[in-house]
Amino acid sequence: MPLIRPFRGLRPAAESAQNIIAPPYDVLTANEARALVADAPDNFLHVSKPEIDLPADVPAEDPRVYAKGAENFKRLIRDGLLRQDARPCFYLYRLRRADHVQTGIVVTVSVADYEANHIRKHELTRPDKEDDRVRHMEALNAQTGPVLLVYPDDRCAQQLIAKQSETAPVYDALELTDVEHTLWVVDDAETISAVRQVFAALPAFYIADGHHRSAAAARVAVRRGREDDAANHFLAVLFPASQTQILDYNRLIRDLNGLFPQTFLEQVARRFSVSEQDQPVRPAVAGEFGMYLAGRWYRLRAADEWLHADDPLLCLDISILSNYLIQPLLGIEDVRRDPRIEFVGGVRGLGELQRRVDSGEMAVAFSIYPTPLSALIAVADAGEIMPPKSTWFEPKLADGLVSHMLGT
């Protein structure tokens, strides 16, 4: 059973919170981040993506980048813009985007539970991205980006969270892009004990977003040993499965593997049911795909037998597209490393797919039905690994809202 525990969160002073919170470091390019914080010296991107404060020719993995992040972090603490709570707490965290609302709880979870598969993963990680987060944690002596975890719906847990959210929040509806972020502090011993007991009864947690941060935290724990108790736990936010929202994660391919568009279309039609469409295609059901090729949209439909494979991995839409089209027709065997394929989160819209194909940068685009959370859980429970970029969770957590300090 995975265990959670409270911690002394490092968080913004109330009057500074709106100026500090930032999008996650990995959803923006360096140029996008520089533009966003041009007039925002206290924004947390100066900590989480510190290459924005260095010349553009300095590589993101340069030691100067991590030193700059640590310098900026220490300055926010020194100036009183970030303050650590006096005693261990849990924190309720509500995200609101349009009509979608999800309320979770900010905790620390143990590296031991992660290694024992009580906290289950569904993605492979890239060594370079792991290395980046290890260096960042070590330089700051802190974990600043929470891992998004999902737990199976539990009536007792959600009743406790609902009761606590009736109290006054410490930050109310902070705005970040089109998302409102609200935070409550849970610091009384009786409630903390009740929360720990309820969550300890759950069978498993599932990593939704944050595989690299989880893996990096485990590596830091090994480096520091058992003496650094804080480093043997990592920062996470737990949300119930029913409130967690997954958007589509679409594909762009740079070329047609030597085929002309008409020839490629004919080969696709031998494998999928194909119909030309007047409008952009956003798949409405599993097994349906949109394809944008040579200025036209097509609706593709997979064979029924592909959708009902016994293996939970093989019947994923992502797997079907890869196994029956991207690999055999476009020759892309390793989607993790092949530079001919790119991934676009659904929050950017189908217009982004069309724009990049029309520009000539890409040859073909595919829109994909969102991976159901039930499929993610089935794959993780089976000990399987999903294809890269299978899920795009939205809304995103804010960086800088609560951080977890490590030991000395």
pLDDT of residue 366: 98
Query: Does 388 fall in a domain?
Result: no
121 and 234 in a common domain? yes
CB distance 157 to 151 below 8 Å: yes
Torsion of CA 160, 150, 99, 23, to 10 degrees: 110
212 and 164 in a common domain? yes
Mean pLDDT to the nearest integer, 58-85 = 96
pLDDT of residue 94: 97
309 and 240 in a common domain? no
Residues facing 238 on adjacent strands? 105, 149
Lowest mean pLDDT among 28-37, 42-51, 210-219: 28-37
Query: Does 385 fall in a domain?
Result: no
Q: Encode burial over 162-189: b for 16+ CB neighbours within 10 A, e otherwise.
A: eebeeeebebeebebeebebbbbbbeee
Question: How is residue 356 written in tokens?
Answer: 């990049």
Listed in sequence order, the residues at least 6 apart from 106 whose beta carbon sits closer than 8 Å to its beta carbon are 9, 90, 91, 92, 93, 146, 183, 235, 236, 237, 402
User: Of 226, 233, 244, nearest to 375 (Cα)?
Assistant: 244
175 and 273 in a common domain? no
Which amino acid would we find at residue 345? Answer: G
Q: Taking 90 as the threshold, does the pLDDT of residue 64 lie above it?
A: yes
37 and 24 in a common domain? yes
Lowest mean pLDDT among 314-318, 321-325, 359-363, 386-390: 386-390
Helices and strands, counts by H and E, the chain: 15, 21
Tens of pLDDT along 217-246?
999 999 998 888 999 999 999 999 999 999
Query: Does 379 fall in a domain?
Result: no
Tens of pLDDT along 99-112?
999 999 999 999 99
Query: Does 376 fall in a domain?
Result: no
Written as one string, the DSSP assignment of 238-282 is EEEGGG--EE-EEEEES--TT--HHHHHHHHHTTSEEEEESS---
Strand 233-240 versus strand 147-151 pairing type = parallel
Mean pLDDT to the nearest integer, 318-341 = 93
398 and 289 in a common domain? no
Residues facing 84 on adjacent strands? 10
Listed in sequence order, the residues at least 6 apart from 329 whose beta carbon sits closer than 8 Å to its beta carbon are 257, 259, 264, 267, 268, 271
94 and 232 in a common domain? yes
Q: Taking 70 as the threshold, does the pLDDT of residue 178 lie above it?
A: yes
pLDDT of residue 392: 87
Residues facing 93 on adjacent strands? 104, 183
19 and 44 in a common domain? yes
Query: Does 375 fall in a domain?
Result: no
Q: Give the CATH number for residue 304.
A: 3.30.1760
pLDDT of residue 226: 80
Q: Taking 90 as the threshold, does the pLDDT of residue 92 lie above it?
A: yes
323 and 223 in a common domain? no
* Enclosing domain of residue 267: 249-369
Residue 327 vs residues 323, 324, 332, 333, 356: alpha-carbon distances, Å: 6, 7, 5, 5, 21
Which amino acid would we find at residue 149? Answer: L
Query: Does 381 fall in a domain?
Result: no
Query: Does 271 fall in a domain?
Result: yes
177 and 70 in a common domain? yes
Q: Assign 319 a pLDDT band (cuts: 50, 70, 90).
A: very high
Which amino acid would we find at residue 268? Answer: V
Other Cβ atoms closer than 10 A to 138: 18
Mean confidence (pLDDT) of the chain: 94
229 and 279 in a common domain? no
| 103 secondary structure, DSSP code | E
Query: Does 179 fall in a domain?
Result: yes
Q: Encode burial over 94-109: b for 16+ CB neighbours within 10 A, e otherwise.
A: bbbbeeeebbbbbbbb
238 and 339 in a common domain? no
**Strand order from edge to edge, sheet including 341-345:** 273-277, 296-301, 288-293, 364-368, 249-253, 341-345
Number of domains in the chain: 2
Q: Taking 80 as the threshold, does the pLDDT of residue 289 lie above it?
A: yes
Q: Is 73 exposed, middle or buried (0-12, 13-18, 19+ CB in 10 A)?
A: buried
